[in-house]
Amino acid sequence: TGPGRGDRPGPSAARAGTERPADRSRRFWWWLAGIAAAALAVRLTYVLGWRTPWTVIGDPYYYHHGANLLADGEGYLHPFRWLLEGRRMPGADHPPGYLTVLAGFSWLGLRSFLAHQVVSCLLGGLGILAMGLAGRRIAGERVGLIVAAMTALSPNVFIFDAQVVSEPLVVSTTALVLIAAYRWWDRPTAAAAVLFGASIGLAALVRSEAILLGPVIAVPLVWWRHRRDQAGDGG
């Protein structure tokens, strides 16, 4: 007797067995792009529905007006001192990374606070893509999509994208640090170490606390690799 129907693989199993890596990668990118688009929709809905108009105070005031001043060629002036007190002095209350990116859009004419909110939402969407790639690098494509979806829908993330603060870029740079760290683990070369250091420096230009990621990640990574190499030599 021949095999019964229960012994034959279903169509989905057959497709899974014959699916090419290129097809799986293409499918991952389509899903990731869809999640990023949904994340952008969530952020814009939050901005237009609950955060506009909004009183510009505190850090949002600093970044919004500081970006416009930089776009006008005034340099990194302290916006509180200049606009409220008429005192021209440099400002270093926050690292310059996010403000510089925002100033690029101000230079293009996107100077209103609402425009800066939309720009921050776009940067938040890029963070979703970056986190998805970091998740894929750590534990595979499925985990990458799960990480991207959780980041996209987390209120603790998207509320900051509407406030014109540096957190949208913190998400992207943190993902970049993770990707660079795993690359260094896979390829213990000087170039990979330099790339990891550069990612730490870039993250620190967005949030100064990110400089701590250098020793926190690098020291255990070097120690574990040393132990692994020793175990390999012993074997």
Global pTM value: 0.85
pLDDT the model gives residue 20: 82
Convert the pLDDT of each residue in 134-179 to its tens digit. Answer: 999 999 999 999 999 999 999 999 999 999 999 999 999 999 999 9
Q: Average pLDDT in the 117-145 region?
A: 96
pLDDT the model gives residue 141: 96
Mean pLDDT, rounded, of the chain: 90
pLDDT the model gives residue 230: 80
Q: Can you read off the two tokens belonging to residue 1?
A: 């007797």
pLDDT the model gives residue 235: 53
pLDDT the model gives residue 17: 56
Convert the pLDDT of each residue in 97-112 to its tens digit. Answer: 999 999 999 999 999 9
pLDDT the model gives residue 233: 67
Convert the pLDDT of each residue in 173-222 to its tens digit. Answer: 999 999 999 999 999 899 999 999 999 999 999 999 999 999 999 999 98
Inform me whether the pLDDT recorded for 66 exceeds 80: yes
Inform me whether the pLDDT recorded for 81 exceeds 80: yes
pLDDT the model gives residue 5: 47
Low-confidence winner among 10-14, 117-121, 177-181 (lowest mean pLDDT): 10-14
pLDDT the model gives residue 12: 47
